[in-house]
Amino acid sequence: MALSAKAPAQPDGATGVLVLADGSVIWGRGFGASGDAVGEVCFNTAMTGYQEVMTDPSYAAQIVTFTFPHIGNVGANPEDIESNVEGALGCVVREDVTAPSNFRSAQGFTEWMAANGKIGISGVDTRALTRRIRLSGAPNAVIAHDPKGKFDLKSLQARAQEWAGLEGMDLAQRVTREALEDWAGADWALGEGYRTLGTGGSGDRPHVVAIDYGAKDNIFRNLVAAGAKVTVVPAKTSLDDVLALKPDGVFLSNGPGDPAATGEYAVPVIKGLLDKDIPLFGICLGHQMLALAAGAKTTKMHQGHRGANHPVQRVGAGWGDTTGLVEITSMNHGFAVDGDTLPDGVEQTHVSLFDGSNCGIAIKGKRAFGVQYHPEASPGPQDSFYLFEKFVGMLG
C-alpha cells in the first residue's frame, strides 16, 4: 500500500515521525535517541511508572503510546529500572517532556531515553492514535527521530510493511539471562535503595528456580519478600538442569513475543515439571505457557491489555470467602489464554472485567497456577501480593 493520500505534510519543527504499515504518517517532535526502529504500536493507560514500562522486557519490539499526557515529568533514576536488557523500542506522548520535578530524579527523561537508545515523539494526538488501535488493532510501524527532520517516508513504510509482526515470534531468547544467577535482591527502602537478602539469611528459605523468559526484577524481589530464596536460569534451561538445582518450586516469568513460539522449547520443560509434581507459578507469558502445557491454546488479542488499572475478578472455587473479589491489576500482554479451550483438568480462576478474557488458571490435582497480570507491579497497591505468598506457602 502506498503512503496515505491524506498523509499530512511535514510541519515546521517536526523532528520525529511514526509511519504505519498502511501508509499513515504521524508527525511530532523527536526526543531521546536518534535513528529509527520497527515494531508494534500499543497503548498503555498507566498514569505513573513510565520508566518501569520502558524497561520491561515484555515490551520488546513494541512502541508504547502513553494515554496519560504528561510523561517524563518526574525524570528518571537507576532504582526504577525493571531490567537491563531490551525493553520498549520507544514511546509516543502528548506533551513535550519538561524538566524533572521529583526528589528521586537523577536524570531527565529525555537524556535517559537517549542514553538507553530509545526513541520518543511528543506533540502527538495520543487520544486519536489510541482510538485507532482500539478500532483497528495494534499496527506495525517505524518510529524515527532525526534532529534535522530528514526522513525517507517511503523507505520507513517499506520497513513497517516488511516486518513480520509479533505473531509467531519468539522474543524470549533476546531478553533472557545468559547464565544462572543467584538472586540476592530484596525490598526497597527510602534512602537505602534495594537491600540484599544476603547468604546468611537464605539457608532456611524454600528454593525457587525462576525461568527467565524476559523477567522483571521486581518479581524476584517479591518472591524474596514472600519468604523464598531465588535462583534465576535462562529461558532454554533443560528439564534435567532445572531439576539438578533441587527446586522446591519453579517460577515461570513474564516475557515478550508469542507464547506458542516460545513454547516450542519451554512447554516440554513445563510438562516435565508437572509430571514431577513440582509446584509452579506463572505470570503473563509464564501463565500462557503453563496453559499450553496443560492443553489449552493461546490467541493474539485485537489491542491487548496494558495499564495499571485493569479490574480482575476471582472466580475459581478455591478462594473461600474472597471468591468474587475484584483486584485492581497491572497488565501488559498482547496474547491471551483462550478460556474456551481450557481442558477439564484446568480451572479458570480469574477473569478480566473489561472483556471477560482469561486472567488466571489452576491445574487440578497439581500445585500449579498462573495469572495473566503483574502482581509485582504493586497495583492496588497490594491487591495481588497474596499470589506470591500462596506460591511460597506451597513449598514446605
Catalytic residue among 305, 310, 333, 374: 374
Out of 139, 162, 185, pick the residue that ends a domain: 162
Give a yes or no: residue 71 inside a domain: yes
Residue at 356: amino acid letter:
G
| pLDDT score of 3 | 57
| pLDDT score of 83 | 96
DSSP track, 182-222: EE-EEEEETTTEEEE--GGGSTTSPEEEEEESS--HHHHHH
Give a yes or no: residue 48 inside a domain: yes
Burial class (CB in 10 A: 0-12, 13-18, 19+), 105: middle
Residues 153 and 179 in one domain: no
| pLDDT score of 56 | 98
Residues 370 and 278 in one domain: yes
| pLDDT score of 90 | 98
Contact 249/270 with Cβ under 8 angstroms? no
Give a yes or no: residue 223 inside a domain: yes
By DSSP bridging, strand 16-20 and strand 207-212 are: unpaired
Give a yes or no: residue 261 inside a domain: yes
Per-10-residue mean pLDDT, the chain, length 396: 68 97 97 98 96 98 98 97 96 97 97 98 98 97 98 98 97 97 90 74 85 97 96 98 98 98 98 98 98 98 96 88 93 98 97 98 97 94 94 94
Nearest to 172 by CA among 86, 53, 239: 86
DSSP track, 147-174: TT----HHHHHHHHHH---STT-B-HHH
- Distance between CA atoms of residues 16 and 31, nearest Å: 8
CATH of the domain at 43: 3.50.30.20
DSSP track, 318-332: GGGGGTT-EEEEEEE
**Phi, psi (rounded to 5 degrees) for 280:** -130, 145
Nearest to 250 by CA among 242, 241, 238, 259: 242
Residues 121 and 232 in one domain: no
Residues 177 and 157 in one domain: no
Give a yes or no: residue 10 inside a domain: no
Residues 107 and 178 in one domain: no
Is 162 annotated as catalytic? no
Residues 6+ apart with CB under 8 A from 256: 57, 58, 59, 60, 61, 62, 166, 171, 172, 174, 175, 214, 285
State percent of the chain over pLDDT 90.
89
Catalytic residue among 42, 91, 284, 359: 284
| pLDDT score of 1 | 44
By DSSP bridging, strand 35-44 and strand 140-145 are: antiparallel
Q: Is the link from the previous residue into 247 a cis peptide, with omega within 30 of 0? A: no
Residues 132 and 84 in one domain: yes
Buried/exposed 120-149: b ≥16 CB within 10 Å, e otherwise:
bbbbbebeebbebbeeeebbbbbbbbeeeb
Residues 202 and 350 in one domain: yes
| pLDDT score of 291 | 98
Give a yes or no: residue 347 inside a domain: yes
| pLDDT score of 202 | 61
Residues 178 and 158 in one domain: no
Is 389 annotated as catalytic? no
Count Cβ atoms below 10 Å from residue 257 Cβ, excluding itself.
Answer: 26
Give a yes or no: residue 7 inside a domain: no
| pLDDT score of 321 | 82
**Full domain range(s) for residue 75:** 16-162
Residues 52 and 198 in one domain: no
| pLDDT score of 308 | 94
State the maximum Cα–Cα separation within the chain, in Å, rounded to a whole number: 67
Residues 114 and 198 in one domain: no
User: Residue 106 corresponds to which cell in the numbers above?
Assistant: 537523577
Out of 162, 184, 213, pick the residue that ends a domain: 162
Is 376 annotated as catalytic? yes
- Distance between CA atoms of residues 345 and 171, nearest Å: 29
* Cross-strand partners of 80: none
Residues 121 and 179 in one domain: no
| pLDDT score of 189 | 87
CATH of the domain at 255: 3.40.50.880
Domain total in the chain: 2
> Taking the model in full, what pTM does it have?
0.96
